Amino acid sequence: MPKSRYYPALDGLRGVAALCVVLMHRHVWFGLDGALGHGFLAVDFFFMLSGFVIANAYDGKLAGGMGVAAFMRARVLRLYPMLILGAAIGALWRLIALNLGVGVLGVWEVANLFGRATFVLPALHSRFEGASAFPLDPPMWSLFFELAINLVYVAIFRWLTPGRLAALAAVGFAALVLLAATNGGIDAGDVAAEFWIGFVRVTFPFLAGVLLHRFRDFASLARLKAPFWLQALLLVAVLNVPNIGWANAPFDLICVGLVFPALVISGSLTESRPAETQALRLMGDLSYPAYVLHYPLYVLLGGWGTVLGLLKPDTQFAFGLAALAIVLAASWAATVFYDRPVRAWLDGVARRRARLAEAG
């Protein structure tokens, strides 16, 4: 069974993309008006990284007999604890706001939304957070499609020859072209009214990531090798391109179809020294919790700041820096003291049940 490899630069790029998302969602606090105009493309980059990393970690296991249930259990164990924490923080502020007299959600509405979040089910008739499909923690929309494409991938894995994989990726890109042409870009799928468009967003980048992993050793791809700092600079530059009107559609397609695949391959070729590897690993470790937790933490902190009179136009930059520090610290603490122990415990429970089942 082929062993998976560790790609530190890809961890670092994931961290850079996550930080851009964290800054984008409260850009006014940080004085970043006009910046990160294409920050939404970070999600498409995450999907492509996910395809590459999952193929790296699981293709050998799936070929060796790992079943659908075992694969999905592993994916749920990886994503679920932090996902629940993000929804709980979102629910906490809604209840606090209700008691402070500034809330718009009743107790039963909060309970219903939290119940949906625990099963990663969208609230497609939501009237909150700009009609977000997951009002307690809006970034959860991409995790829904992450799990959905994971299930599709493992279900068709044995049928998925390189040719068929390439054909499906081509169909996925054609769907992206259609979306870009009709929507003026591919920024869609995160709100209730257009939620199912998320399947178009996830299909091509995820399958392209898998395809890149299968062909990563082609000699000609070695030309894409570059230092990590250059990869990170290119990614930040792409995400910072402002709204360019009619050119948004071709720009989005070029990024997802050419720039991001080149970055993934380049990142997979990058070698790093031990100290740099540790830093890149930390960036990767913080990327998922920061992505999941930052929005509900921002809402909680911003709500309290408004109520207490701490968040004002002349203090919002300092408030934003403090909020960013809290998000990063909370992401680290949640990883070390919550996510890892909970996942280890759940994994142990699953393994014990599997052994009992085998023993009859």
Interatomic CA distance for residues 121 and 141, integer angstroms: 9
Residues 180-199: tens digit of each pLDDT:
999 999 999 999 889 999 99
27-41, 54-68, 70-84, 209-223: segment of lowest average pLDDT: 209-223
Q: What is the DSSP string of 112-149?
A: HHHHHHHTT---TT--STTTBSSTT-TTHHHHHHHHHH
Mean pLDDT of the chain: 93
pLDDT of 1 strictly over 60: no
Query: What are the C-alpha distances in Å from 50 to residues 47, 54, 153, 167, 207?
Result: 5, 6, 12, 19, 9
**Considering the entire predicted model, what is its pTM?**
0.95
Can you state the angle between helices 8-24 and 260-269, rounded to 10 degrees? Answer: 140
* pLDDT the model gives residue 125: 77
Considering only residues 351 and 271, tell me which one the structure prediction assigns the higher pLDDT: 271
80-84, 103-107, 178-182: segment of lowest average pLDDT: 103-107
Tell me if 91 sits within 8 A of 110, measured CB to CB.
yes
Considering only residues 192 and 253, tell me which one the structure prediction assigns the higher pLDDT: 253
Q: Which residues pair with 132 in a beta bridge?
A: 191
Nearest to 242 by CA among 22, 29, 36, 26: 36
Report helix, strand or coil for 280.
helix
pLDDT of 137 strictly over 60: yes
Interatomic CA distance for residues 9 and 302, integer angstroms: 33
Residues 82-101: tens digit of each pLDDT:
999 999 999 999 999 988 88
Tell me if 268 sits within 8 A of 10, measured CB to CB.
yes
* pLDDT the model gives residue 104: 80
